[in-house]
Amino acid sequence: MTDSWSPDILAFAGPTRPVTAATPGLVWLPPAAAGDMLAAARRTPCTMVLIDGLMETRMPPLHKEILGVLAEGFRIIGAASMGALRAAELAPLGMLGVGHIFAAYRHGRLVADDEVAVLHAPAELGWRPLTEPMVDIRATLVAAVRDRVVPIATARTLRATALADNFRVRSWQRLLDQPTLDPLERAALLRWLPTGRVALKQADADAAIALARALAETPAPRLPPPPETAFLTRLRSFVDTGGAA
């Protein structure tokens, strides 16, 4: 590792922010698991953007892993999904957070990690989301009340129903199929959703990429390294022997 700086941006994304095309200076990487950020740090320090991370099939990026990468001179920006969770936890230690979801976690308005979780397709199908994140449902219901599509009482009932569901089954179709939903309100939502739905996670991801671009030319400070625990040492060894991509 050198003391030089690269203006490149490495972005870990998947279901939140579909990758549409290669962009000069911006390298899209799959959702991050434990060790992936350490593996990506085998290069000249630059800006990393953590948007999506794996939770069920592999361990997610670890807090000390992120602190170790910061200590190597990388800038790390988090937003939208796993990135918002980690940024809210590590903001006092040098990770940058951006967006509404990060702010909600940082200030305690959101506390559950399943607010941003979704069931998604594998890499071969582009990590396509198969369910709706709770944060997007919340934002969309607020917009529906504002646009007078449904009354606030109905929005609250739908929000409570979605909160009671597991993140693996949350969807607008499931909410619209609730037998207690007034047929006229169901029809109004069906007409409005195609244009009214709020993609809050994607908006926050785009804001993180915009911030990364704005800061890309400016080197990040090299922060103090975290304690080298036995677990972190094993993770480094795992990465060094090719265990993480």
Q: What is the pLDDT of residues 7-54, one digit of tens each?
A: 999 999 999 987 766 688 899 999 999 999 999 999 999 999 999 999
Residue 2 lies in a domain: no
pTM more than 0.85: yes
Segment 197-217 shows an average pLDDT of: 97
Distance CA 89, CA 72 (A): 19
Domain identity same for 16 and 106 = yes
Distance CA 56, CA 119 (A): 10
Distance CA 119, CA 148 (A): 30
Domain identity same for 141 and 172 = yes
Domain identity same for 29 and 149 = no
Residue 1 lies in a domain: no
Domain identity same for 98 and 30 = yes
pLDDT of res. 1: 41
Residue 4 lies in a domain: no
pLDDT tens digit string along 116-150? 999 999 988 889 999 999 999 999 999 999 999 99
pLDDT of res. 238: 83
Residue 64 lies in a domain: yes
The tally of domains found in the chain comes to 2
Domain identity same for 183 and 206 = no
Residue 208 lies in a domain: yes
Domain identity same for 53 and 152 = no
* pLDDT over threshold 80, residue 243: no
Domain identity same for 91 and 209 = yes
* pLDDT over threshold 80, residue 245: no
Domain identity same for 105 and 183 = no
Residue 3 lies in a domain: no
pLDDT tens digit string along 58-113? 889 999 999 999 999 999 999 999 999 999 999 999 999 999 999 999 999 999 99
Contact 15, 118 (CB under 8 A): yes
Domain identity same for 107 and 45 = yes
Domain carrying residue 220 = 9-113+201-240
